Amino acid sequence: MPPTPLPVLPLAPSLIPPADEVPALVHLTGVEQEIWDRALPYLDVRDNDAHSLHAYGLAWALLTAVPQARAEVVLPAILLHDTGWKTVDPARILPAIAPGSHDPETVRRHETEGAVIAHRILTDLGYPQDVTARIMEIVDGHDTRRHALNTDDAVVKDADKLWRLTPHGLRTVGSWFCLDAEQTLRLVLSVTYDRLLTETGRAIGRALAACAGLDHSPRRSVLRGRAPSASGEHTG
């Protein structure tokens, strides 16, 4: 027997709090907004714009739990880290990052060119030279260097990789390699979880993986296709 759908209950807009009164929302402001505006022309390949924005949010969340990390290093670094892909032949990008790739030079190129672009943007903005140097070190090696140079680097690396486990990250990676959602999750987990460097990053990774994995479980599959009001997808 099909479940009985709940009647909807439209809420008055006045019952919804404004964005600046709810916790945990992330806003780009000040110099980070200026960095983002200047980075955007370099981020229109490989979905790097949305990737960088999601990774910025993850970095922001990680910073609240890793007090040794410095926001003035981490946040510009995550906004700028993939700008170097703009200098790579688009036809080479996915082959270079695919599992089993034999093109490490292309991956290195997006790191070294990204560091150059980061330096140019931050210098134009008058960003402190010593902080700019730290950011360039992080960008130059953010994918190929497995170990973290310091806590700032670890947070950037974790934010970058955790994006893969977000709904947007899984959809994007799956579309790159023509994989279904379950295959994508297995691939992403196999190249992501063991590379997370902070305890908070691993906790976020476990939570994202648990939600995504349960979405493909047999029990969840049975529920698929039902209307949300009848399937238990509620907030309580």
CA-closest candidate to residue 212, choices 182, 187, 232, 236: 182
Task: From 130-138, 156-164, 181-189, 216-224, give the range in contact with Fe ion by CB under 5 A.
Answer: 156-164
SS in 3 state form for 203-230? Answer: HHHHHHHHHHHHHCCHHHHHHCCCCHHH
- What is the Cα gyration radius of the chain? 20
158 is an interface residue for Fe ion by CB under 5 A? no
Task: From 66-74, 77-85, 94-102, 119-127, give the range in contact with Fe ion by CB under 5 A.
Answer: 77-85
Task: From 30-38, 126-134, 157-165, 184-192, give the range in contact with Fe ion by CB under 5 A.
Answer: 157-165
Shortest CB 223 distance to Fe ion, Å = 33
82 is an interface residue for Fe ion by CB under 5 A? yes
Cα atoms in the Cβ-side hemisphere of radius 13 Å centred on 187: 21
113 is an interface residue for Fe ion by CB under 5 A? no
Shortest CB 91 distance to Fe ion, Å = 17
Quote the CA–CA distance of 220 and 193 in Å, as a whole number: 23
122 or 173, CB closer to Fe ion?
173
Instruction: Locate 133 and state its tokens.
Output: 């140097």
153 is an interface residue for Fe ion by CB under 5 A? no
160 is an interface residue for Fe ion by CB under 5 A? yes
Other beta carbons less than 10 A from residue 46's beta carbon: 19
Q: Contact residues for Fe ion (CB under 5 A)?
A: 82, 143, 160
